Homo-oligomer: A and B are copies of this chain.
Amino acid sequence: MFLFWFCMVFLNKDFIPESKCRVLKTMAPILFNTMGTDHSEYIEEEEVHVKNPHLDSMEEDILYHLDLGTKTHNLPEMFGDIKFVCVGGSANRMKSFAQFIHQELGLPGDNDDIRDICAGTDRYSMFKAGPVLSISHGMGVPSMSIMLHELIKLLHHARCRDVILIRIGTSGGVGLAPGTVVVTKQAVDCFFQAQFEQVVLGKVITRSTELDKGLAEELLANSAEIPNLPTVIGNTMCTHDFYEGQGRLDGALCSFSTEEKLEYLHKAYDAGVRNIEMESTVFAAMCLTCGLKAAVVCVTLLNRFEGDQINTPHRLLLEYQQRPQVLVSHLIKKRLGLIQ
């Protein structure tokens, strides 16, 4: 098996060309079973499911916000080898991550040559480094939701198998030192419930936001192997607003006192919330519904018990933002058998 990776990395060929991609897909159960992980669920290949009976009857599927389509692009050839999809809010950050993972996996070619696959639109940016796809999703649940619908259809059209999705993001910490990485145990809403409310044709339905427990534990275990990477596991609260919804005192609108803010944040802490961001519930709910193993790994930029404004020096913010990337890169390398 190692000979296979050795060939791909050092013989200066494309990391996983279509021919090898087919081999990889066939071999995937064995591959993952020999990597020294204890993830027996990887023994069986899993396709990416869409839950939409109408799709089969469509002649063409235009993934409008990604500027891709089934008639205009050969999606299996472009994306069939994808095993890891990493998503994050900022396009620049997701480009940096693609360059970083390209280097970490020892892929051939210059990582400065990595191009935005969605360059025809400015809604999202997408970069590919071997079996890793790195995509931006903008800010907030609706922006994440549009990207996920089109990404999941893309993975389905490309006939990808055994894909895991990881959100690598930034967040506000609750009772944690800035720079702490939080691996999400449960994605909860602003009432601290592990659920996501989706409106379908004017009716509210509720979906579970359960994430993959094994993957979260694996990430936490991995973090212990990396120096200077303070990591905890905890609940992540997802709000639809950065200011009033997260109890900030510094928005254009604020009708509550410092005491009321702190009371809310302490209630969140007591409910197990360790960080606050704006996309995790829909991410967890959609991945679960479509049978995709998913995790959320966010760094905290500040401790909300101590303030609202993000006034950490720029240099330090950049260093913090690399921490989830380092942790997820470590997991990917272990899963690929590149490190023990």
Q: Chain A binding site: helix, strand, loop or mixed by DSSP?
A: loop
Q: How far is the CB of A36 from chain B (nearest CB, A)?
A: 33
**B199, B244, B247, B260: which contacts A241 (Cβ < 8 A)?**
B199
Q: How far is the CB of A57 from chain B (nearest CB, A)?
A: 10
Q: How large, as a class, is the contact surface on chain A?
A: 35 or more
Q: Is A143 among interface residues, defined by CB-CB distance under 8 A? A: yes
Residues in B neighbouring A53, C-beta threshold 8 A: 254
Within 8 A of B (CB), among A53-102: 53-55, 58, 60-62, 64-65, 89-92
Within 8 A of B (CB), among A181-204: 190-192, 198-202
Cα of A22 to Cα of B153 in the assembled complex, Å: 55
Residues in B neighbouring A247, C-beta threshold 8 A: 201
Residues in B neighbouring A192, C-beta threshold 8 A: 202
Q: Is A335 among interface residues, defined by CB-CB distance under 8 A? A: no
Residues in B neighbouring A52, C-beta threshold 8 A: 249-254
Residues in B neighbouring A241, C-beta threshold 8 A: 142, 145-146, 198-199
Q: Is A294 among interface residues, defined by CB-CB distance under 8 A? A: no
Please name the residue on chain B nearest to A238 by beta carbon: B142
Copies in the complex: 2
Interface centre among A51, A142, A145, A255, by most chain B C-beta atoms within 10 angstroms, is A142
Please name the residue on chain B nearest to A145 by beta carbon: B241
Q: Is A240 among interface residues, defined by CB-CB distance under 8 A? A: yes
Within 8 A of B (CB), among A123-144: 123, 138-143
A58-B250, A200-B255, A253-B286 known; 16 new pairs, CB 8 Å cut-off, are A54-B258, A64-B310, A91-B122, A92-B122, A138-B139, A140-B140, A140-B143, A141-B142, A142-B240, A145-B240, A146-B243, A149-B251, A191-B202, A198-B245, A199-B244, A201-B247
Chain A residues with CB under 8 Å of chain B are 50-55, 58, 60-62, 64-65, 89-92, 122-123, 138-143, 145-146, 148-150, 152-153, 156, 190-192, 198-202, 239-245, 247, 249-256, 258, 260-261, 264, 267, 278, 286, 289-290, 309-311
- A-B contact list, 6 entries, CB within 8 Å: A58-B309, A138-B138, A150-B252, A198-B241, A198-B245, A240-B240
CB-CB nearest 10 A-B residue pairs: A140-B142, A152-B252, A52-B254, A201-B264, A54-B249, A149-B251, A139-B143, A149-B252, A200-B244, A92-B122
